[in-house]
Every structure is written in structure tokens, then in C-alpha cells.
Structure 1
Amino acid sequence: MADHHDDDLATSKTQGFKVGEKKSLQEYQELDKDDEAMNRWKASLGLNTGDPIGQPSDPKCVIKSLALVSPGRENVVIDLSTPQSLSTLKDKPFTIKEGAKFHIKVVFQVNHDVLSGLKYVQAVKRKGIRVSKDEEMLGSFAPSTTDKPVYEKEFNEEEAPSGMLARGHYNAASRFVDDDDHTHLQFDWSFDIAKDW
């Protein structure tokens, strides 16, 4: 049976884009050692710094948390690191003030291989009708090391809807997926738009 989120959380495909040939971490490190542009790209991934902290049996990517960041407010942090914390998200909505400006920050760890084209997809519904769908390309990342144990990425700023019609309860579904269309995490959650925090 198809998952009810399949369409909501499908990623868009870039016209003419082909997924590159996958290489091991060692192959990336050996690749075009004399090519300055390639070396700059590898440096941007963070290759060759520190000792890898992930074990071969660990998942390739572990999403640790999402945070709602709004100026002048304490961050609202959503723990995504355990099945127990994920299971409560739908039943414990948090509140966003109508018209407030905010952005989302994600913290994650990459284990034992280069993670290519990580993307965040989010669909929001109200009373069963989809009201928005957003995608955020996070990029490609080298395995986390002792020098850089986690990555933090901040999304683009958003503004919460405002007005009496916008207030109420919303259900959301989120998915972290790479350019192989491998889902690293998918979860449901909810929030309320209210007159005040």
C-alpha cells in the first residue's frame, strides 16, 4: 500500500540533472589530487580533517534536531534523535505567533561516507487540505569527524501567516532525502498559529 505522504513529500527533479557516479570516501580523497578546483570542492566538504566518528554499522545520516529560530525568542528545539521523541511530535504541537518571522535550523551527523545532495521536504496541511509544500537543498557533506562532529544548516527565513483565518492547528510531514532518493528520516508533527506565543 502506498504511503499517504508519497505525493506530499516527493522531491522535484531538476531538468537534465543526472545523479553522479557514487565513489567511496577514499576514491574522493584520491580524485584529481592536482586539480585545484577539485581540491577546493573537497575542502568545502571537509575531507581530510580529523578522525571519522561514525561506525560502519551506523546509519549514513542521523538527523539530531530541528529548531525554530525567531528573533528575540528562545529557540524551540525538536529532538529527532530517538523513536520515542519522534512518536510524541504529532501530539505535542508548539505555537508560532501569527506574522512572526522565523527560520528552521537542523543539526545532523554524517557517518562513514560522503552524503550527496541532502534535501529537506515539508508539506503542511490544515483540516486535511495541503496548504504548503517546501523544499530546501542542504548540500553534500563529508563524514563527521572529531574536528566537526555535527553539521548545522539554517533554512531560509519564513513568515507565519496572520489574521483570524490563519489561526488554528496545522499538521506537517517532513522528510530528509538524498539525491539517490534514499529517505534518511521521515516524521509527522504539528503546530498551532496563534495570536501570541
Structure 2
Amino acid sequence: MSELNTDHVDSVEEELEVESNYKPPPEKTIEQILETDKEDESLRKYKETLLGEAKSGGVVVDPNDPRKVIVKKLALCVADRPDMELDLTGDLSQLKKQTFVIKEGVSYRIRIDFIVQREIVHGLKYVQKTYRLGVPVDKMMHMVGSYPPKTEVQSYTTPTEDAPAGVMARGSYSVSSLFTDDDKHEHLKWEWSFEIKKDWKE
């Protein structure tokens, strides 16, 4: 979002094309991971610590939800201000009616809160496309990583970015967000919007 120009969009598209040649390693069960190098005591203990609850058998937080990844919340985080949050557990079609107001030029980060249950998820990614008046102006992709199942909410926070500034940058934007993984599973896809203003209370 910080660049807001088509060059940025083109460069990200090129990165995604390069990435499409990447073949993720085959998925392994928790048992297979623990079996590998089991004669190495220090490595075995490290993996057991890393996997935590997962090694004791499938962690199921919500038995009525068959998904491996349950995306709970998106938060827009700005230093010294309360987080602006989107609840992603309800009616996603209503999110577009809730518009974040962002002061131009401010530094911000995006945090995604999610639950992983049942089994390890490999190569999670957060992809965000930003539009203005229906025209794509920015696209970014963040590698979130691989996560074991846990009863607690896990989080990923993007690196700091700067909102665009200036008269031409002010206005309304729509965003399409996708939480996916190496196997192209769409764990959640949603749309939301924000408005860049000269000041927070304008």
C-alpha cells in the first residue's frame, strides 16, 4: 500500500510468477516429523518443544469446524493508537461497510490472528490486493510460515509500511485479502476498505 503505483503491482506479479516455480516439500504428519532423526536426542527434544501440544494427538479447538486454519481477526496497528480490528468470524459481506480511517503518511502494520487445529499447516501466506475506483494500485504478499496446531490463537504481523501521503493519495480504497498456503488452500478470503485522510479526525 505504501507505493500505490502500477510498477509495484508489476514487480509483485513478477515475484509471484517466480514463486510459482517453487515446489513445496511434501507434507509430513507430526508422527513423521518426530520419527526423522530420532536418534539425535537434542534435535528430538527441540522438535517436541516446537510441536508442543501437537505431538500428543490432534489438537481440535472447534470440533464443528472442519478447517485446519480458522482466521479470527485482522488488525491495523499504528503506534500509540488503539488497534483497528476486523472480526473475521462473522458475516464477511458486512466488512466492506466498516471503513478504517488512516492518517496519510502514518506507519502501520497488519496483524492476522488465527487458530491452527488438527494438523500442521505448511507455508501460510497472506496476500493483499488494493484497489482505488476499481483499479488495482498495489499488491503485496507476505510469507507467514508453517505452524503446528495449538489451542491458543497464533498471530502474524507484517513488517512496517507507510501509508501514502499527499492530496492525490487521499480517498477511499478497497482491499481483497487472502490467507492461503503452499498447497493453494484458501483458508479465508475477504474484502474490506479504508480511507486515507489528512488527519485522523478530519
Short-chain TM bin: 0.7 to 0.9
Q: Which moved more, 1:67-76 or 1:35-44?
A: 35-44
Residue matched to 1:22: 27
Q: Of the candidates 68, 73, 97, which is equivalent to residue 76 of structure 2?
A: 68
When the two structures are superposed, what TM-score results if normalisation uses the length of structure 2? 0.81
8 Å Cα contact 2:104/2:165 also seen in 1: yes
Q: Of the candidates 137, 154, 158, which is equivalent to residue 131 of structure 1?
A: 137
Deviations along 1:28-63, one digit per CA (max 9) or x if unpaired, are 232322345576456445454798233485311000
Deviations along 1:102-144, one digit per CA (max 9) or x if unpaired, are 1011110001011000000000010111110000111000011
Deviations along 1:73-108, one digit per CA (max 9) or x if unpaired, are 0110111112x2x11111221101101111011110
| Superposed displacement of residue 174, structure 1 | 0.5
Q: Which moved more, 1:57-66 or 1:21-30?
A: 21-30
The Cα RMSD (Å) is: 2.7
Structure 1 residue runs of 4+, over 6 Å off? Answer: 8-11
- Cα 1:23–1:72, aligned 2, differ >3 Å: closer, same or farther? same
Residue matched to 2:196: 193
Percent identity, aligned pairs only, is: 37
Residue matched to 2:112: 106
8 Å Cα contact 1:58/1:111 also seen in 2: no
When the two structures are superposed, what TM-score results if normalisation uses the length of structure 1? 0.83
Question: Which secondary structure does the structure 1 equivalent of 2:138 belong to?
Answer: strand
- Cα 1:175–1:15, aligned 2, differ >3 Å: closer, same or farther? closer
1:1-197 map, 5 Å: 12=16, 13-14=18-19, 17-35=22-40, 36-37=42-43, 40=46, 43-46=49-52, 47-48=54-55, 52-54=59-61, 55=63, 58-82=66-90, 84=91, 86-145=92-151, 149-197=152-200
Name the structure where helix makes up a greater proportion of residues.
2
- Cα 1:177–1:42, aligned 2, differ >3 Å: closer, same or farther? farther
For the residues of structure 2 that align with 1:181 and 1:142, how far apart are their CA atoms?
Answer: 18
Structure 1, unaligned runs of 5 or more:
1-7
Aligned pairs, number: 186
Question: Which secondary structure does the structure 2 equivalent of 1:87 belong to?
Answer: helix
8 Å Cα contact 1:33/1:39 also seen in 2: no
